[in-house]
Amino acid sequence: MTGQVSAPRGRVPPTLILCRGCRQYIWPKTRACPHCGGKVATLARTHRRDEARQNRLIARIERLLSDIERAGG
């Protein structure tokens, strides 16, 4: 494949995390993203909160659609 660089043989590539502000990979212990300047912990908390809200909304929509389907609609 072109465009991909493999780790040298016998070496495990580093584990990185995703900055939830700019979607760039960063080191796990990074406090401020070097790409966007966001506070990593704050962005992660916001992302978890937003993700939970989205999951609740999806579940609600699925229940509503199921109710409509059961009602013959």
Tally of domains in the chain: 1
Structure-token pair, residue 56: 């609740």
**Res 10: pLDDT:** 82
What percentage of the chain has pLDDT greater than the value 90?
A: 78
How many angstroms separate the CA atoms of 24 and 21, rounded?
A: 8
Looking at residue 40, its pLDDT comes to 98
3-state DSSP assignment of residue 39: strand
Lowest average pLDDT, out of 2-6, 11-15, 26-30, 56-60, goes to 2-6
- The range of the structural domain enclosing residue 55 comes to 38-73
Tell whether 66 is covered by a domain.
yes
Could you give phi then psi for residue 2, rounded to 5 degrees?
-95, 155
Q: What is the pTM of this model?
A: 0.71
Q: What is the pLDDT of residues 29-60, one digit of tens each?
A: 999 999 999 999 999 999 999 999 999 999 99
With respect to residue 22, please indicate whether it lies within any of the assigned structural domains: no
44 lies in a domain? yes
Is residue 59 one of the residues assigned to a domain? yes
Q: Considering the domain boundaries, does residue 60 fall inside one?
A: yes
